[in-house]
Amino acid sequence: MFNKEEFIKSMEIILRAEKAKTLDEAEEQERWNALSKTIIHMITPRWKETTENYHRSKQAYYFSAEFLMGRALSNNLMNLGIDDKVRKSLRELNIDLNKLERIEEDAGLGNGGLGRLAACFMDSSATLNLPVTGYGIRYRYGIFKQRFEEGFQVEEGDNWMRYGDPWSIRREEESVMVSFHGQQVKAIPYDTPIIGYQTKSINTLRLWQAEATEEFNYPLFNQQQYDEAVRKKNRAEDISKVLYPNDSNTEGKKLRLKQQYFFVSASLQDLVSKYREKFGENFEHFSRDHAIQLNDTHPVVAIPELMRILLDELHMPWKKAWKIVVETFSYTNHTTLAEALEKWDIGLFSQILPRIYEIVVEIHRRFEEELISLGYSQEGVQPMRIICHGQIHMAWLAIVGSHTVNGVAQIHTEILKNRELRHWYKLYPQKFQNKTNGITPRRWLALCNRELASLITELLGDEGWIVDLKRIKKLEKYAQDPRVLKRFLEIKQWKKKQLAEYIEKREGIVLDTQSIFDIQIKRLHEYKRQLLKAFHILDLYFQLKENPEKEIPPITFIFGAKAAPGYYIAKGIIKYMNEIAKLINGDEEIEGKLKVVFVENYNVSYGEYLFPGADLSEQISTAGKEASGTGNMKFMLNGAPTLGTYDGANVEIIQEAGKENNYIFGATVEELEILGHHYNPKEYYKTVPGLKRVMDTLIDGTFDDGGTGMFQEIYKSLLEGAHWQIADQYFILKDFEDYRQVYQRVLEEYQDRILWAKKCWMNICNAGKFSSDRTVQEYAKEIWHIKKQN
């Protein structure tokens, strides 16, 4: 029960103890900190009860290098069902809860869809009363904070803890030691509560922070060797300093490997220690109590690490230990891209983790023996060797060492089975499953689009849809009701206004809310084809310059994306897109027709404005390259039709909501396979009207890349390729004309407001499948074999 007096008193006590201030005297960030800690104080008994209850049954553990959580305060108040009570209580003290919520920084624990998926899974697990714990790294600076300087991406440290981290509790007493060759570091767990939506369950996200075993060497300092005195401390802290350190050189690769081993070793030691407390030294039933999900290849080194613990510390025979390992682990594959299927050079791996390398060699040897015994020839074994050409294939190790392998969308899983992992599927057909991704409807509708959520609740009669998203299918009966459709359009217009205000505040750019808000927000990668969108915008611009009388509805193109610091081409594309924005936004003849905005530092909190404010969802990756996507689902749930290819979860979105309510273009996976190496992008460059003119802006001086040669490199990659890739490997030129034609249909149909509203509404009504609640229930039943704990 919420008690206003006790709540306010708790905030006052915290402020007096930590800041020697009253509520009236405190700064906004101090009030936010006190409010957040008061929530922690309120939920601690339930959190402790949930943890104790879960220990009585089998649990699942989600190992992930990323957890892109977003702000905690507003989400937690909603899930606890006390948002209105807290808001009212603070208002009586002249404190604005909205201001306190905006103080909070996004926790810098993730980068893209993989990390946001992990966050949605944690929310769903708690809401469904499922015993699931997340394990990862408590990054000090996260991925990076992005800003633009002369159109170039500039990376800065993301100091997300500058006002503290009130949502984490340090568990010093449960720290463990992690050893690398020549280095030992302390892993300190920080626990974050994951509050289920209006349920008693409070799950745990445990993140490890790396610290030195020796904080400070006094004798060295006394000898005036100041840097050397803190060298061990600095090297230890480097491990949890930054998410995905640049690995373009050997030192960066070493740090990445250390990060991966650090968090899986600490996590497994934690699980083993707790198991020992419960069952003693009998580890034969370890897999009966533990299901560990490896979220992509980053945590796969956990497989040989658990073998090390079972072999070296518990002195278990190899076969018995291996059986436990395989029964414990399952592996989620998130990509069909060969370069993203992680590999480690033997020299580097064996240098950092010599004992783990010995175990990987033995896993490799025994697996090859198994294949030979099954009648495989040396030629047949070749594509499945865990160690090959001086590298360790972590995805292959994951498949061999797991009982289940899953893709994250129907088309993705089929591509894995029939193409990318076909050898493995032939060997282990029983291991492969599909688990189409999902998103939590709490954050991605109930929280970020309260107006639409209220309309849905009104039409359905209660809020049950928030935990059973399939119920919104019943809204289809309103698809022909002009009164409901007009109310939806009014809500959409209000969300566009909120987004425009947010962008004006953040970017200093004024948007026309009567224009189409066409949005593409995701990681910057060539296969996601932000460049295709850039080419189309430039083509539209040139058409309007040639024919000023050409009638189109006004369009605002909004992008958000970060490029990995070492990804040269991706950073060049960002610069190019910002150059296009500069050209178009500065042309008075085009004013009121087109505008281009590339928002800085796109993150979860930005997304909470962008997804509800979108008129059109751009999901234009090359067919077969996007495993699933979850941004497409967030747009769909908030009423934006998809303009996209038959790729990832787009396929299932079309199946659910209908092709007539979305816009599909481009070559299919099958068509691209047939085309294969016969593809010649120069033919399209020469023959597709307008394409050459657009592409030549990369090299003809229209735009300035600051003398870097970036634009020339992009141009060359499209027409000639490079030693590591074929020309236009993501088929931008091939799909350009089809994209342009379909976009023209978007512009025509958007102007019929009721027709457009119906398309949006049908997407909302059919988004039920894409709840992460459904996805997690499938994992729990079909992979983890865990049950709800009431």
What does the pLDDT look like over 139-189, one tens digit per residue? 999 889 999 999 999 999 999 999 999 999 999 999 999 999 999 999 999
What mean pLDDT value characterizes the chain?
95
Q: Which of 513, 610, 613, 589 is nearest to 554 (CA)?
A: 513
Helices (H), 619-730: 631-637, 650-657, 669-675, 681-687, 691-695, 710-719
- In the chain, % of residues over pLDDT 90: 91
pLDDT at 378 > cutoff 80: yes
Separation of alpha carbons 27 and 18, rounded Å: 13
pLDDT at 421 > cutoff 90: yes
Other Cβ atoms less than 10 A from the Cβ of 423: the count is 17
Separation of alpha carbons 156 and 718, rounded Å: 31
- In the chain, % of residues over pLDDT 70: 98
How sure is the predictor about 443, in pLDDT bands with cuts at 50, 70 and 90?
very high
Q: What was the pLDDT predicted at 338?
A: 75
Q: What is the DSSP letter of 446?
A: I
pLDDT at 491 > cutoff 80: yes
DSSP E strand stretches across 150-296 = 152-156, 169-170, 176-180, 183-195, 202-212, 290-295
How sure is the predictor about 229, in pLDDT bands with cuts at 50, 70 and 90?
low
Q: What was the pLDDT predicted at 196?
A: 97
Q: Tell me which residues are annotated as active site.
A: 334, 522-523, 528, 630, 634
Separation of alpha carbons 648 and 625, rounded Å: 8
Contact 11, 35 (CB under 8 A): yes
Q: What was the pLDDT predicted at 247?
A: 81
Contact 356, 312 (CB under 8 A): no
Question: HSE of 517 in the Cβ direction (CA atoms, 13 Å)?
Answer: 26
Q: What was the pLDDT predicted at 230?
A: 58
Average pLDDT over residues 627-645: 97
**Is 341 or 658 the better-scoring residue by pLDDT?**
658
Contact 789, 53 (CB under 8 A): yes
Task: Read off the pLDDT of residues 33-62 as tens digits, 9 standing for 90 and up.
Answer: 999 999 999 999 999 999 999 999 999 999
The gap between the terminal CA atoms of the chain, to the nearest Å, is 19
What are the φ/ψ torsions at residue 64 (nearest 5 degrees)? -145, 140
β-strands 516-521, 616-619: how paired? parallel
Separation of alpha carbons 113 and 289, rounded Å: 29
Other Cβ atoms less than 10 A from the Cβ of 321: the count is 22
pLDDT at 457 > cutoff 60: yes
Q: What was the pLDDT predicted at 722?
A: 77
Q: What letters, b where the CB count within 10 A reaches 16 and e where it falls short, cover 583-601?
A: bbeeeeebeebbbbbbbeb
pLDDT at 748 > cutoff 70: yes
Distance of CA 705 to the CA centre of its chain: 30
Angle (deg, nearest 10), helices 450-460 and 482-507: 160
Q: Which of 678, 662, 671 is nearest to 735 (CA)?
A: 671
- The structural domains of the chain, ordered by start, are 55-70+106-437+777-784 (3.40.50.2000), 475-770 (3.40.50.2000)
Q: What was the pLDDT predicted at 219?
A: 73
Average pLDDT over residues 604-616: 97
Model-wide pTM > 0.95: yes
Q: What is the DSSP letter of 697?
A: G
Contact 114, 526 (CB under 8 A): no
617's enclosing H/E stretch is strand 616-619
What are the φ/ψ torsions at residue 251 (nearest 5 degrees)? -65, -40
Other Cβ atoms less than 10 A from the Cβ of 5: the count is 8
What are the φ/ψ torsions at residue 155 (nearest 5 degrees)? -100, 135
Among 111-125, 227-241, 521-535, the range scoring the smallest mean pLDDT is: 227-241
142, 175, 259 from 235: Cα distances, Å = 17, 18, 12
Task: Read off the pLDDT of residues 570-586 as tens digits, 9 standing for 90 and up.
Answer: 999 999 999 999 999 99
Q: What was the pLDDT predicted at 269?
A: 98
Structure tokens, 57 = 């049954």
Q: What was the pLDDT predicted at 730?
A: 96
Q: What was the pLDDT predicted at 223?
A: 67
pLDDT at 240 > cutoff 90: yes
Contact 60, 786 (CB under 8 A): yes
* Region for residue 721 given its phi and psi (left: phi exceeds 0; alpha: psi -120 to 50; beta: otherwise): left
Q: Which of 512, 653, 523 is nearest to 585 (CA)?
A: 512
- What sign does the CA torsion over 481, 487, 493, 499 have? negative
What are the φ/ψ torsions at residue 82 (nearest 5 degrees)? -120, 15
How sure is the predictor about 246, in pLDDT bands with cuts at 50, 70 and 90?
confident
Average pLDDT over residues 635-655: 98
Task: Read off the pLDDT of residues 335-359 as tens digits, 9 standing for 90 and up.
Answer: 888 777 899 999 999 999 999 999 9
Instruction: Kindly compute the dihedral angle of the four CA atoms of residues 286, 788, 769, 526, in this order, to the nearest 10 degrees.
Output: -40
> DSSP for 503-552?
HHHHH-----TTSEEEEEES---GGGTHHHHHHHHHHHHHHHHH-TT---
Separation of alpha carbons 418 and 441, rounded Å: 33
3-state secondary structure of 746: helix
Average pLDDT over residues 412-422: 95
Contact 612, 491 (CB under 8 A): no
Separation of alpha carbons 778 and 790, rounded Å: 18
Q: What was the pLDDT predicted at 249?
A: 87
Q: What was the pLDDT predicted at 221?
A: 63
Residues 6 or more apart whose CB falls under 8 angstroms from that of 226 comprise none
